[in-house]
C-alpha cells in the first residue's frame, strides 16, 4: 500500500467528487493508500476545512482522520528545515521523511528544491501524475 503525504491544497480539491483530483481522496477512502499526517498537518487541514463553512464536511473528514485504519499519525521528532521560501511547508516534508512516505503529493512549485537534495530523498509528485501513474 502506497504511503502518501498530501498537501492541504491538494486535499481540499480531492475531497470533491466533481474534481479531477478526487481519485486521490477515493484511494484513501477505499484503503488503497495510507495517508500520513502529523498534528501540524491535521491542524492545517482543520483550519482550511473550517474556512469552507461546511460543518458536515469538516466533521466527516475529521472523523475519517480519527478512525480510518489507513490514516497513520507521524510524530516527527526532528525538523529537517529543507524548505526556506515557505518554511511552513516543512511540516509536510518532515512527515514524509519520518513516515517513510512513498510520495508527497503537491502542486506547489516551492517543493522543487527538494529534487536537488540527495538525502533524505523525497518523491515529490503532482496530483495529476500520481493519478495517472498509480491510480489508473
CA 1 to chain centre: 15
Interstrand relation of 124-125 and 2-6 (parallel, antiparallel or unpaired): unpaired
Q: Strands 2-6 and 33-37: what pairing?
A: parallel
Under a CB-based contact definition with an 8 Å cutoff, are residues 35 and 10 in contact? no
Among all chains, which residue has been given the C-alpha cell 485504519? 69
Q: Supply the pLDDT for residue 68.
A: 93
Q: What is the dihedral of CA 108, 74, 34, 58, to 10 degrees?
A: -70
What does the pLDDT read at residue 101?
97
| pLDDT value at residue 115 | 86
Residue-wise pLDDT tens digits, 63-117: 998 899 999 999 998 888 887 787 889 999 999 999 999 999 999 998 988 888 8
Residue boundaries of the structural domains of the chain:
2-133
CATH class of 2-133: alpha beta
Considering the entire predicted model, what is its pTM?
0.94
Structure confidence by residue, pLDDT tens digits, 18-40: 999 999 999 999 999 999 999 99
Confidence of residue 7 (pLDDT cuts 50, 70, 90): very high
Q: Is 80 exceeded by the pLDDT of residue 61?
A: yes
Report the pLDDT value the prediction gives residue 136, as an integer from 0 to 100: 87
CA gap 126, 15 in Å, rounded = 16
Residue 60: predicted pLDDT: 92
Amino acid at each position: 500500500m502506497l504511503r502518501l503525504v498530501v498537501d492541504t491544497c491538494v486535499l481540499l480539491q480531492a475531497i470533491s467528487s466533481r474534481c479531477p483530483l478526487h481519485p486521490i481522496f477515493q484511494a484513501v477512502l477505499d484503503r488503497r493508500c495510507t495517508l500520513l499526517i502529523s498534528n501540524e498537518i491535521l491542524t492545517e487541514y482543520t483550519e482550511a476545512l473550517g474556512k469552507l463553512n461546511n460543518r458536515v464536511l469538516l466533521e466527516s473528514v475529521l472523523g475519517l482522520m480519527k478512525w480510518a485504519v489507513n490514516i497513520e499519525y507521524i510524530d516527527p521528532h526532528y525538523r529537517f528545515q529543507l524548505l526556506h521560501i515557505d518554511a511552513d511547508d516543512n511540516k509536510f516534508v518532515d512527515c514524509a521523511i519520518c513516515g517513510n512516505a512513498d510520495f508527497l503529493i503537491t502542486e506547489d512549485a516551492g517543493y522543487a528544491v527538494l529534487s536537488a537534495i540527495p538525502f533524505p530523498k523525497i518523491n515529490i509528485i503532482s496530483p495529476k501524475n500520481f493519478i495517472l501513474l498509480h491510480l489508473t
